[in-house]
Copies of this chain bind each other. A is one copy, B any other.
Amino acid sequence: MSLKLIENRRSFGGEQVKYTHYSEVLQCEMTFSIYLPSNKEQKKIPLIWWLSGLTCTDDNFSQKSGFQRLAEKHQVAVMIPDTSPRGEHVANDDAWDLGQGAGFYVNATQDPWAKNFNMYSYIVEELAAIALTLVPHFSGKESIMGHSMGGHGALVTGMKNAERYKAISAFSPILNPMKVPWGIKAFSAYLGEDKALWKEWDASELIKEAGMPPILITQGTEDNFYPEQLDETQFLNNVQENNQTVLYEKKDGYDHSYFFISSFLEDHFSFHMKYLS
């Protein structure tokens, strides 16, 4: 494992750092950002994962959310992966919602995607091992949040590893990818036609299992992808039928952008810290 430091900028007393590295899991060069709080008291600090949406890189959340103020206030590290494998030799598609920039946080089984598109294992295994080496005084406690495609990613990753991630939250997530255009397109390409396999990557299916971490979801009412891509009906039905505890809240007048995310990120950090402290 060889990390190359690209940027290190002081922010709110802590450090906003960017690295590149060669990913064995994704078979390509990858970039990620991590925020390390000042930790002046040398206490144990937890780690929040942020998964971004379609077309994003690690920069969107780093530059537009204002999260560093909250991470420093709560003394928590934040890891921000890229959203997909990238590069000339990585499979791609002309569409913005498939291929590079649209990894969907699954492990692909179909050609030409299977070689590189393994974002789930990259995040859960390879990047997690790297995070261990980068967070000083790591408390061992992790949680996960994300936006849109990354909200789907946070829910699926968190629920598939319910013992490990202490809390899950999402802004305007794709809650039922098997049933909406973005998800159907991506799952058909990456996973093929076996719907039993699709269910393993659908939050509305995973929420049927007992023992899930606490979940907070925030959705803007003026989101131009709602409800078509972000419909919550099936998910909330399954929450109720299976006696799960999920806080699903709508915010009047907010859209799909970082203006929405930044407005409510403080609530999400407070929610996570209840389970990370």
Contact = CB atoms under 8 A, between A and B. Distances in A.
A160 interface: no
Interface in A25-71: 63-64, 66, 68-69
A262 B66 contact: yes
Interface residues of A, number: 22
Q: Lowest 6 A-B CB distances belong to which pairs?
A: A66-B66, A11-B259, A10-B253, A9-B259, A12-B263, A10-B254
A10 B63 contact: no
A12 B63 contact: no
A78 to B, nearest CB: 14
A11 B262 CA distance: 8
A111 interface: no
20 contacts: A9-B255, A9-B257, A10-B220, A10-B254, A10-B255, A10-B260, A11-B260, A11-B262, A11-B263, A13-B263, A16-B259, A63-B63, A63-B64, A63-B258, A66-B66, A66-B69, A66-B262, A68-B259, A69-B262, A69-B263
Contacts of A209: none
A220 B262 CA distance: 25
A253 B253 CA distance: 39
A16 B69 CA distance: 21
A29 to B, nearest CB: 24
Contacts of A13: 263
Contacts of A257: 9
Interface in A250-277: 253-255, 257-260, 262-263
A222 B69 CA distance: 20
Contact of A12 (B69, B255, B262): B262
A47 to B, nearest CB: 20
Contacts of A220: 10
Contacts of A63: 63-64, 258
A64 B16 CA distance: 14
A227 B63 CA distance: 26
A222 B263 contact: no
